Structure 1
Amino acid sequence: MRQIVTDGSLKELNESLDVRFPFKITREDYANYYHHYFRAHWHPEIEIHLLMEGESFFTIQNRDYYLKAGEGLFINQNILHLGRVTEKDLCRSIVIRMEPYFLDRDQKGIVYQKYVKPVIESRKLEQLRLSGDVPWQKQWMKDFLEIADLFDEKADGYELEIQGRVSKLWKEFYLQTKHLQHIPLPENKDTEKMKMALSFIEENYKKKITLAQIAHACGTCQSECCRIFQEILKTSPMEYVNTVRIQNSLNALKNKKKSITEIAYQSGFSSASYYAEVFRKKMGCTPGQYRKK
């Protein structure tokens, strides 16, 4: 079972790209993620999701996106996002990740400054839904699927082929979204408050945490804190705390030398019985049953 691992700032720690060729394609089944959900996170890479089968929901910067097979999402670098699947048995996608400098190593060069920087710094392009009903987007996704095959096959010279094709696709993206570039938008204060709250939770989940403490950490009142969590994460602050605690207990359960009671307390739960209750609710089994899998 997979899960997103983050640091205190919610930066994803699962993997980083090879600096020699900062481009990677993976084939994902979102149903394999913990609780069919991947937690809020961000990363310095640009990410493109192409949904092949099933349905999924993404929440990106306070906006919800429902995706079905044949659709996709462009997610810009450093953008907080999370997702969940609507069908437990099937939700497969192709995920493209690349560093912006993949297109031009010289970040002071004309290619980076003229064609990359305006896109990655655009507040209007924090995310873009890709639809098969829009001709250029349909072709764009189709071309990336071909690139995915090249990446899997890794024939001699595939890096050159991919770099050339991605540059061509980036040109198309740049031209088609030019009207969205250089449009300043006000800072999303809710997102910034959310990041502060989540960072506090990540750093303190092993301790007793109250709603008042979470609200204080993000500089707001308790009711406003609850509103922000509900709008962005579709859950309450304390429910999210329990989610983080359960997620972080999963690796500990692999160590059979530790008792479940010990793991419960180390994960921030007030008792083993409450840990078992929350675990069953979120995982569909008891900690002991999960340990035996």
Structure 2
Amino acid sequence: MLGFVNWHWHYEFQLTYVVRGTISVFLDQRIIDLHEGQGVYINPEVLHMIRDRYDTDAMFISLDVSPRLLTSFPNSVFERSYVKPVFRSSAADAVVLDPGVSWQKRMLDSAKSIEQVYKRKDFGWELAVCSSLYSLWNELVCHLQESLAEDDAPAAEVARQRRSQRIKDTLAYIREHYAQKLTLDEIAAHLHLSTNECCRFFKKNMNCTLFEYITEYRLGKSMELLEHTDLPVSQIAYETGFGSSSYFIEKFRKNVGTTPAAFRKAGR
């Protein structure tokens, strides 16, 4: 496998904890290293990527949770006072959780309990999940209370949101057109940037070059097709934008460490 979860965002909030090894979480020009036993809370719609820190055999578990499990109903006191303020706060975009800090350990324990209860699915498991979820959220809100009351400086927050939206627009364009030939001129024109500024902006915010991301995204799509279809390698190369079988095999071997055919065989 590619060994990482590429840049993405979602409308759920996320809780990730490390079971083994060390991982790096990339988000908004920050890199957070998490070791075994540690975790992180990530706000909805925050761009992030997770990689194995040392390319070894790290293992982590991520829980993506719909805010609707907390809000009860639209405009409820839960939504107004305890959920939306967290989602609006940049201080809550990424909160590191360390088992050496008592309230953070309680959050980690609640996250582990949710994962275990969800896997077993004994009678009443939904109630148990919600109970642990509210306990977890209470810890987070109480210990972020002061920062939630402080609004970000308007200019800084507007700039942050504009940068985040530009990144999302870039990724959305790539995901829509990855199967086609993509040029720097086309992507820069879509973003209304010069080609130099487009490259600089992407590298600064994504910790990789534009075309490194495109290659990794195409490889991820090709791996899905290798695992779940019987399409020939040549057709997969074409459908994922590589253009030729030889180029696809070359990139696959370099990034995944094996050939597409061997990868398909190992998964069956």
Equivalent position of 1:264 in the other structure: 237
Deviation at 1:155, TM superposition (A): 3.2
- Structure 1 Cα separation of the partners of residues 71 and 233 of structure 2: 51
Instruction: Structure 1 unaligned segments of length 5 or more: list them.
Output: 1-33
Stretch moving more, 283-292 or 111-120: 283-292
* Cα distance change, pair 161–265 in 1 and its aligned pair in 2 (3 A): closer
- Do residues 244 (structure 1) and 217 (structure 2) align? yes
Give the C-alpha shift of residue 89 in structure 1. Answer: 4.5
2:75 is equivalent to residue 108 of structure 1 = yes
Counterpart for residue 255 of structure 2: 282
Deviations 1:204-242 (A, max 9, x none): 112211112222222222222222322333211112112
Distance (whole Å) between structure 1 residues aligned to residue 189 and residue 254 of structure 2: 29
1:194 to 164, 167, 179: 167
Measure how far apart 1:199 and its partner are. Answer: 1.3
Change (3 A) 1:251 1:145: closer
Question: Displacement of 1:85 after TM fit?
Answer: 0.6
Question: Any idea what the Cα deviations from partners look like across 1:25-51, whole Å, max 9, x if unmatched?
Answer: xxxxxxxxx310111111111111111
- Structure 1 segment 1-293 matched on structure 2, within 5 A: 34-182=1-149, 183-184=151-152, 185-188=157-160, 189-254=162-227, 255-256=229-230, 258-293=231-266
SS of the residue corresponding to residue 206 of structure 1 reads coil
Flag the 1:96–1:286 CA change in 2: closer, same or farther, 3 A. Answer: closer
> Which residue identity is paired with 2:69?
F
Cα deviation code 1:65-91 (max 9, x no counterpart): 111112111011121111111244522
Question: How big is each residue's C-alpha offset from its partner over 1:175-215, in whole Å with a ceiling of 9 and x where there is no partner?
Answer: 11012214232342332222111111111112211112222
- When residues 253 and 50 of structure 1 are mapped into structure 2, their CA distance, relative to the original with a 3 A threshold, is closer
> Matches of 1:159 and 1:58 in 2, distance apart?
29
- The count of aligned residue pairs is 259
Shift in Å at residue 55 of structure 1? 0.6
Q: Distance in 2 between matches of 1:41 and 1:216?
A: 22
Which stretch shifts more, 89-98 or 201-210?
89-98
More helix per residue: 2
8 Å contact from structure 2 (residues 106, 136) kept in 1:
no
Percent sequence identity over matched residues? 28
1:27 matched residue in structure 2 = none
Distance 1:219 1:285, change over 3 A: same
* CA deviation map 1:113-144 (0-9, x unaligned): 11112112223212211123433212321333
Q: What's the TM-score, normalizing by structure 2?
A: 0.87
Q: Kindly indicate whether the alpha-carbon contact (under 8 Å) linking 1:62 and 1:191 is maintained by their aligned counterparts in 2.
A: no
Tell me, in whole angstroms, the C-alpha distance in 1 between the residues paired with 2:14 and 2:76.
Answer: 23
Structure-1 separation of matches of 2:121 and 2:167: 41
Unmatched 5+ stretches in structure 2: none
Residue type at the aligned position of 2:180:
K
Contact kept? 1:119, 1:174, Cα under 8 Å: yes
Residues 59 and 232, structure 1, Cα contact 8 Å, conserved in 2? no
**Structure 2: how far apart are the matches of 1:146 and 1:220?**
47
| Runs of 4+ residues over 4 Å off in structure 1 | none
Please tell me the residue identity of whatever aligns with 2:240. S
| Separation (CA, whole Å) in 2 of partners of 1:154 and 1:108 | 31
Q: Deviations over 1:142-162 (max 9, x none)?
A: 333334333333333333233
Residue identity in the other structure for 1:173: L
Q: What is the CA–CA distance in structure 1 between the aligned matches of 2:222 and 2:187, rounded to whole Å?
A: 21
User: What letter corresponds to residue 64 of structure 2 in structure 1?
Assistant: R
Does the 8 A contact of 1:194 with 1:218 survive in 2? Answer: no
TM normalised by structure 1 equals: 0.80
Instruction: Give CA deviations for 1:222-268 in whole Å, capped at 9, x if unaligned.
Output: 22222232233321111211222222222333544x43233222221
Q: Note closer, same or farther for the CA distance 1:263–1:193 as it changes in structure 2 (3 Å cut).
A: same
Cα distance, 1:212–1:56 mapped onto 2, change above 3 Å: same
